[in-house]
Chain A
């Protein structure tokens, strides 16, 4: 038996199929995961993401600490509530985790890190923070992600009345605190929406109120097809400690300037960048029937080979899509070894879908 979020009983009562995810018993689907996926792209769906770790960092040197800890630069966060997405690297430039960090006050930042990497993340952050006298506190908060074109409108109806106007006024990648609620306009689906952190004791009531507003409960199955359509990496699958952001399509998350910012992993990344990256991270769209999956081999013209990092069936494109690491020389199309049969796939520039729109051929 794995760990349970505060919404476990709610999921079971709703007939969800539960599965172990990083040591937690989480809902994969309540009914059709494809219908759950469509609900998010077309309307509003919600995910229990309470298994993720919310960690607050406090102290006058917090900003300086994060400037060293993270590959993206928190100096970009000047307005209270502003957030950014970053990788946290080791000295070799390998990715320890990916996360979102929120600037709340000069002496207070909040990070949300992955559930499966909880133990190593907390150990690493704690170790690195010592020199900066930063207080690290894990917060006991539940988290519900409400996503879709109607998500924000429906979600605010479930929030305290006095919070509604401010919540609706949030710009993308901005967050606000209201009483025990922390509302962020962030997400992992490629649609607009909120991620709402709140006291665990209030989560079940909020979940039911959101259902009453017409928000559809969605499980991890839909979460995976949505994030892959949006080409959002999944830690542990698209990247891990053995690869750098430069090899994972995350060049854009590295803040090279100012040149003097010695973030952990910088020198290794510079060396890799200067030597030239050996492969590229691309999107694939399968032209044949079948579903591409992690670790399947990708064959390219000239005899090189690559590997699928994440693959699935895209409900929006109605065919299989994948992210893959392939040789630099890879052209417009490849072949993928799907259970012994070769399928033809087109190479595309991700993302595949954003805000309900298909962006690739």
Chain B
């Protein structure tokens, strides 16, 4: 059973979202996603300043098995991509919720509220199984 922390938001495409007090969000991939991908060997993160639409492919996580697009959960602007993933992409496998991929400033805070909560994401996982 993969882990689903209660204090995060989620998407159907297996991203997790953590809100900061200033409304900006940090994004990564879930335990389910890292397990399905297997050993991650490269991560491409977006450049700061890039404008994103909701659902836009903006990062790539590549494992030995396959390359997987990461989709922006909300419309907004990229604040930062995690440069540390360059040297140690396997951190995502070891600690999927403690390893962020990018930080985004949402255009509309309400969009974040509308994301799946932990219970809803658990249901997504049950339905997919």
Contacts and interface: CB of A to CB of B under 8 A. Distances in A.
B62 A290 contact: yes
Interface of B is mostly: mixed
Contacts of A116: none
Interface stretch (A4-12, A26-34, A147-155, A301-309): A26-34
Interface of B: 35, 38-39, 41-42, 44, 62, 64-65, 67, 90, 93
A42 B93 CA distance: 23
Nearest to B67: A339
B39 A34 contact: yes
A22 interface: no
Q: Give 5 nearest A-B pairs by CB, closest first.
A: A34-B39, A313-B64, A313-B41, A289-B42, A32-B39
A29 B38 contact: yes
A316 interface: no
Given A225-B64, A290-B62, A33 B41 contact: no
A33 B38 contact: yes
Contact of A290 (B38, B42, B64, B65): B42
Contacts of A33: 38-39, 64
A28 B38 contact: yes
Contacts of B39: 29, 32-34, 221
B31 to A, nearest CB: 14
A312 B62 CA distance: 11
Interface of A: 17, 28-29, 32-34, 221, 225, 289-291, 312-313, 339
Given A17-B35, A34-B39, A313-B41, 18 more contacts: A28-B38, A29-B39, A32-B39, A32-B90, A33-B39, A33-B64, A34-B41, A34-B64, A34-B90, A221-B65, A225-B64, A289-B42, A290-B42, A291-B41, A291-B42, A291-B64, A291-B67, A339-B67
A29 B38 CA distance: 8
Contacts of A339: 67
28 contacts: A17-B35, A17-B38, A28-B65, A32-B38, A32-B90, A32-B93, A33-B38, A33-B64, A34-B39, A34-B41, A34-B90, A221-B38, A221-B39, A221-B64, A221-B65, A225-B64, A289-B42, A289-B44, A290-B42, A290-B62, A291-B41, A291-B42, A291-B62, A291-B67, A312-B64, A313-B41, A313-B64, A339-B67
